Chains A and B, each alone.
Chain A
Amino acid sequence: MEQSGTSSLLQGAVQDLASSVVSALRSGDHARAAAPERAADGEAEGLALAAVRVLGADAMLPSTLLSTPPLPDELAVFRAAVEAYPPGADAAPTVLWSHWAMRHTLWRLDPGHADGPHPEPDAAWLEGAPWQLLTHQLAVLAALAVPGEDCAVARAAQHRPVDVARGFVRAVRRRDWRQAAGAGRWLTLLEGVPQTLGLDNGLDFVELMGGQDPLVALQVSAARLTRTGVFV
């Protein structure tokens, strides 16, 4: 399907931001991931803000996983993205949860300047969802797969580790690397994942095949950090 110019522009900005986050995760230089370089013009600044909203809570992932305080301007950009793009009245559950995750992250990282905790959106759409749909939706919401964080989406994943493992394998076989990487990230948090899955090797393979996509690399990096417990 052909993308509109606007859509391509936004996707490119999201990928650039994801690359920055991956670099920060790998180098430990966490502080500049979500802070766009001071844009010379309003267009670039607006685009950067929209990209932060799309990448969601993962824009602050280096601070979250590496437990290092974000810079004030980093938080300011993140907060501006949260405030600029609230979910619409008929927004999809993933949009609602993405926004909730950003507000929750803001509250966690900067409790003095953010209200919270915030009530969770409804997660009923995941209850009884077929494993294929469950995996797809979890992969879209992989920013919620953070060690030590509890929410209804995470609980839905925790109740169905085998289904998520099946979804991971299906995504790999379909060469849907983004979905595979997101599902793999969730699997690093779940108990009861079948040993026969070979998750570590699976993540290696996903990175090998899809790692040139920054959004795939981000999820794999997050999964590895979670796996190794470096965030503790």
Chain B
Amino acid sequence: MTATEKVTKDLTGIQSADIEAALDPAEADGIYRDSRECAALALFKGGYGLLLSPPTPRPKKG
């Protein structure tokens, strides 16, 4: 632990592990649009054809 890091840790409680966790975040959970937002997408400049395309098919089970 460097001297600066030790001072920071003592004063703020922030450790290297906190920083490394912030630098290696897991992917956020997906939140999917509702129909109202889809409508807003369609209206907003009309330029989001690809973003509004239907989702790719899911793999069939079995």
Binding site secondary structure of chain B: loop
Chain B proximity mask over A52-72: 1 for CB below 8 Å, otherwise 0 = 011010000000000000000
In the complex, A7 has a CB within 8 A of chain B: yes
A6→B9 CA distance, assembly (Å)? 10
Please tell me the size bucket of the interface on A.
35 or more
Known contacts A46-B12, A49-B4; decide if A202 and B23 are in contact (CB<8 Å).
Answer: no
What are the residues of chain B within 8 A of A92 when measuring CB–CB?
Answer: 20, 23-24
Q: Which A residues lie at the B interface, using CB under 8 A?
A: 5-7, 9-11, 14, 41-43, 46-47, 49-50, 53-54, 56, 80, 83-88, 91-92, 94-95, 98, 132, 136, 140, 169, 172-176, 178-179, 196-198, 201-202, 204-205, 208
Q: Which B residues lie at the A interface, using CB under 8 A?
A: 2, 4-5, 7-8, 11-16, 18-25, 27-28, 30-33, 41, 44-45, 47-51, 55
Other A-B contacts than A42-B7, A176-B30, 16 sampled, CB-CB below 8 A, are A6-B12, A10-B22, A14-B22, A49-B4, A50-B8, A50-B12, A54-B19, A84-B5, A85-B5, A91-B20, A174-B28, A175-B30, A198-B50, A201-B45, A205-B48, A208-B44
